Amino acid sequence: MKLFLDTANLDEIKKANEMGVIRGVTTNPSIIAREGRNFQQVIREICTIVNGPISVEVISNQADGMVEEAISLAAMHPNIVIKVPMTAEGLKAVKVLSAKGIRTNVTLIFSANQALLAASAGASFVSPFVGRLDDINHYGMKVVEETVTILRNYGFSTEVIAASIRNPLHVKKAALVGAHIATIPYSVLMQMVQHPLTDAGIEKFLADWEKVKDK
């Protein structure tokens, strides 16, 4: 399973990229707004750091507007993937963009049927939201699992991105159910890096080394 970083924060993206573990970045309007900077500048800078799909979301809610925005965003860099909301208008836009060779990531997916529709329309990626379903007492990872099975059953090339990831357990479960990608916040990446036994082990090795280093 590949890991994408779910942020537009350049410091976080640089740090994660230096660790060699991320293969792409996902953003959404809320994530971009957190940076408080010029949107296009932020996206351009992300594209200079990570060499992989960079998802950028359209704002329009009509297919024509989505397509227009998508064409202009896709022209910014070849790695840009257009995030389109899972609506009837979004599906229409995905069909048009797919025919133009512009990659799409259908977002705000909360059921396997929505994912099937998005893949059928030609989406390159579908993003079921795990955490937001868990928040309302539904089992979010089940949607990821069902989506992976359905798309595999019928040979879709669409990749499944487990999104709205809130903790390391979500990441592990996404990998176990066969998601192609999990897009994760930087905080979750750092939680995955750390283990108290690793810290204790390093401390013990260094303490033992101190005893003999000058002998």
Stretch that binds ligand E4P, among 86-94, 125-133, 141-149, 197-205 (CB under 6 A): 125-133
Per rule CB under 6 A, is residue 164 in the interface with ligand E4P?
yes
* Residue number with CB closer to ligand E4P (65 or 131): 131
Per rule CB under 6 A, is residue 163 in the interface with ligand E4P?
yes
Per rule CB under 6 A, is residue 124 in the interface with ligand E4P?
no
CB of residue 57 vs ligand E4P: minimum separation in angstroms?
Answer: 8
CB of residue 108 vs ligand E4P: minimum separation in angstroms?
Answer: 8
* Residue number with CB closer to ligand E4P (30 or 153): 30
CB of residue 116 vs ligand E4P: minimum separation in angstroms?
Answer: 19
Check: CB of residue 135 under 8 Å from CB of residue 142: no
Per rule CB under 6 A, is residue 107 in the interface with ligand E4P?
yes
Give the other-Cβ count within 10 Å of 20's Cβ: 7
Per rule CB under 6 A, is residue 127 in the interface with ligand E4P?
yes
Extract the tokens encoding 204: 């013990």
Per rule CB under 6 A, is residue 159 in the interface with ligand E4P?
no
Long-range contacts of 29-38 (CB under 8 A, 24+ apart): 29/57, 29/59, 31/6, 31/7, 32/8, 34/8, 34/9, 35/8, 35/9
Alpha-helix residue ranges (DSSP H) falling in the chain: 10-18, 29-35, 39-49, 63-74, 88-99, 112-121, 130-135, 140-153, 168-176, 186-193, 196-212
Q: Give the footprint of ligand E4P on residues 21-80 (CB under 6 A).
A: 26, 28
Per rule CB under 6 A, is residue 7 in the interface with ligand E4P?
no
Q: Could you tell me which residues come within 8 angstroms of residue 13 by beta carbon, excluding any fewer than 6 positions away?
A: 5, 7, 22, 25, 46, 49, 50
Catalytic residue numbers, as ranges: 83
Which residue has the closest beta carbon to ligand E4P? 164
Q: Look at phi and psi of residue 208 and say left if phi exceeds 0, alpha if psi is from -120 to 50, else beta.
A: alpha
Check: CB of residue 57 under 8 Å from CB of residue 31: no
Per rule CB under 6 A, is residue 131 in the interface with ligand E4P?
yes
> Which of 91, 162, 82 is CA-nearest to residue 120?
91
* Residue number with CB closer to ligand E4P (120 or 167): 167
Residues lying near ligand E4P in the complex (CB under 6 A) are found at 6, 26, 28, 107, 127, 129, 131-132, 163-164, 183
